[in-house]
């Protein structure tokens, strides 16, 4: 269960990074 929890944390962190990166690209355009 702990491993699955860590996996969810990793996934959500990756999603936030992707959202931040795409947001910055939108600002730069």
pLDDT digits (tens, 9 = 90+) for 1-29: 788 888 888 999 999 999 999 988 888 77
Domain of 14, in residue numbers = 1-29
In this structure, the dihedral spanned by the alpha carbons of residues 20, 22, 27 and 29, taken in order and rounded to 10 degrees, is 160
Q: Would you state the pLDDT for residue 16?
A: 92
State how many domains the chain has.
1
Cα 26 to Cα 1, 5, 16, 17: the distances in Å are: 38, 32, 15, 14
Q: Would you state the pLDDT for residue 27?
A: 81
Q: Would you state the pLDDT for residue 3?
A: 86
Please state the pTM of the whole predicted model. 0.52
């Amino acid at each position: 269960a702990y491993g699955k929890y860590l996996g969810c944390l990793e996934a959500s962190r990756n999603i936030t990074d992707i959202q931040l990166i795409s947001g910055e690209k939108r600002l730069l355009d």
